[in-house]
Each structure stands twice: as structure tokens, then as C-alpha cells.
A = this chain, B = another copy of it.
Amino acid sequence: MSQPATKRGPLAGIRVLDCTGVIVGPTSTLLLAEQGAEVIKVEPPEGDLMRKLGGKAPANAPGMSPKFMHFNRNKRSIVLDLKAPEGQEVIRRLAETCDVFVSNMRPRALASLGLTWETLSALNPRLVHCTIAGFATGGPYDGAPAYDTIIQGLSGVAACLEAVIGEPRFAPFVLTDHIVGIIAAQSICAALVARATTGEGQAIEVPMFENAAAFVLSEHLGQRTFDPEGSFGDPRIMTPDARPMQTQDGYICVSANTDPQARGFFTAIGRPELMDDPRFRNVSARLANVADYFALRAEVLRGKTTAEWVALLRRHDVPAMPYNTLASLLEDPQLRSSGVLTKEEGEDENMLGLRHANRFSGSSLPESRLAPRQGEHAEEILAELGYGAEDRARLMGKGGAA
């Protein structure tokens, strides 16, 4: 893709008032920020919980935990005590100037702070107002607190792990927060698309549990879709054999679903006649005999090194790649060439940062900035809102800003 002239990103000009914390909300606004939106992160006086909960911060930068840094780059921070009149004054002024408001507060908290769609749209009818909730309003869990592990357990993520490893476990990510945050960013952009036609903002409700359940069930409702007695689960995924496979010196991942790929695989292993085996001769046959098909692969792959297999299989156009540990991932030649993993030009020469992975022909993405220190941009944000020196002095440190 040729290098475009501007460095603003597709969301340049969109201003986001970000009253979110921890992971789900910051994930949504990270995508917007990286694509050029101006994100103003409003933190409570105690700061985003993830500053402390996201791992050990460097000694010279308290509150800058690794996980906080990776989910909050390219944002600016202002601290507001939303329970104080000064904080209320500033947040309402911010809402008047922004295109998007995002929060993951519970509905009750949002209402008590005067930050509902009804209140804010009266100030700014063009505002897109997104509430990321634990549960859809109106249901029996409405307003119940929700965290990722709660949602993983309730939505069937942990049950799917039980199906393959034999005991309930969580996927080792803040998985539902992370996925629902991306979905929230998508829905916010959809509402901005609508606004371009209607001229009006709208409220969006993004419930974590329902989105996570739909994610799980779309994959694993399986035969239960058609039959009340049918079995759950995509058998290609739920079979215990679907895993990275051992080679002579490590692990490899091989995918051979289509007929040409299966033929390529059988040829690569020197057994082209298997393409005529009734168990393997087409997609339906291999699906019905998935255990046999996996067992064959597991047996054969032990015979060569990972690098030998990757080269051989690739010659036959069979998808195959080595298994990366997190350490080997950092050395992966594709990742290194992509610019997604970078050395930050920060206080610490060793610091690793991440970049948005997508490319847009219309504009380069904005220069990446480190995540903000708590309240780092309070004074400049107040100045942009038109507060003079006297007003800024009135507001700073008094709940209005810090």
C-alpha cells in the first residue's frame, strides 16, 4: 500500500470523551485513538484501576503499569472528581465539545453523575453515547457488577475450555473485555456513519454478557441449533487432538481443510493414495473422521523438524507455521517487519510498545504517543475548553481537574 501524505487516520476530527477504566472501555477507545480520534481519558482521583492492577510500573513512573500503557496509548488524561461541582462543570463542557461519549460505569452510577444519554444529548444532540454494560438493561442481572472472569464463566467461554481440557478454566486473556471493547468501537463508528446522514447522535448499549454469549454460541451451538437433543460444539475445535503438533524439535500448526490442501498434505508426507481413502476423500468425509485425520497428522509430523515441515508443506501450499512462544514471537521476522512491535522513544531505551496493525490508504495513522500519566493533560484540555488562567487555577486540584 503506497504511503499517503497525511498522518491523521480515518477518524481524524472525531473527539471522544472517554469515561472508561480497566480493559473493556480502554480497548474501545484505543482503537479510536489509533485511527486518529482525539481521546480525552477522564480518570477519577484514584486513577484508572489498571494503573495499579496491570503489573509493575517502572520506579520512575508510578501508575504506568505495562497493561495500562498498552491499552491507553495515544490518549490524553485529565483527572476529574465527577462528584464535585467543579468536576461536573468540566465534564458537561467536555460533553458539549465531543462527538462520542463512552463509559463502562453501571447504569446507576451513570445516572447519579448526570451522564446519561438523556442528559448529555440535551447539551449536544450530535453526541454518540455508548454505554458498555455488564448486562442488557431490563434483564434480571441488569446493574449487577461484571468483570471479565465473571462474564467468561457465565457466557460459556470457560465451559468451552472444560470441553477440551476437562475442567472449567478461563481463556488466559481478559477475553470478553477485550472482544467486547472492539465490538463497542465498531458500534460507535456505525453510529457515526448514521450521524453523517441524519445529523443526530444516538445512544448505544453494548452488553458484555450478551455479546460474549453470542460469540460463544455462534461457534458452538452446533447441532443443538436444529435439535433440542443435539450436541453442542464444533467438533473440529472440540476434539482433543486439535492442537499444535509435536515435531522432532518443537511444535507446528498445520491446517489442511480443503481438498487441495489435503491432497497437498498427503503428497508432502509421501502418501498421495490417502486422498482416495474413504475417510479422507472430501471435506465431509474428513469432518466425519476428524479424529483419524488428526491422529494421522500427529503421527507423521514427529518425523522431521519444524523448519523442515514448514518448508515442505509450504511447497505444497498447505498452511503451516511454527508454534511461537511469547519470547520467539518477539523475534518473529514477520512481526518485526510489520512495525506492530516497536522500541519506544521514551524514558527507557528498552521499552517495547505496540502499534495499530491495520493500514489505511487514505492516510497514515497518527504518530504514536505513550499512554498518559495521570492527569498529564489537564491544564491543556481546560485551556482548549476556553478556561483562562484564573478559571484553570480555580478548577485545578479542587475536583475540577488534576
Contact = CB atoms under 8 A, between A and B. Distances in A.
Interface stretch (A83-91, A252-260, A376-384): A252-260
Give this chain's copy count.
2
Interface in A317-338: 317-327, 329-330, 332-335, 337-338
A251 interface: yes
- The contact size tier of chain A is 35 or more
Contact of A219 (B67, B69, B221): B67
Contacts of A225: 55, 66, 69-70, 351-353
Given A31-B186, A149-B242, A327 B165 contact: no
Interface string A145-170: 11111111111101111111101111
Interface stretch (A7-15, A269-277, A387-395): A7-15
A198 interface: yes
A55 B222 contact: yes
Contacts of A204: 358-361
A203 interface: yes
A218 interface: yes
Given A178-B215, A202-B362, A232 B326 contact: yes
B168 A66 contact: no
B219 A174 contact: yes
Contacts of A11: 190, 193-194
B10 A358 contact: no
A96 interface: no
A248 interface: no
A301 interface: no
Contact of A340 (B214, B325, B360): B214
A145 B251 CA distance: 18
- A-B pairs, top 8 by smallest CB distance, nearest first, are A153-B253, A189-B189, A196-B196, A202-B362, A147-B255, A210-B357, A10-B194, A186-B186
23 contacts: A10-B194, A11-B193, A13-B197, A49-B283, A52-B283, A71-B218, A117-B361, A136-B337, A140-B334, A141-B321, A149-B242, A149-B253, A153-B252, A154-B323, A159-B323, A159-B324, A168-B244, A169-B244, A173-B216, A173-B219, A202-B363, A204-B360, A214-B356
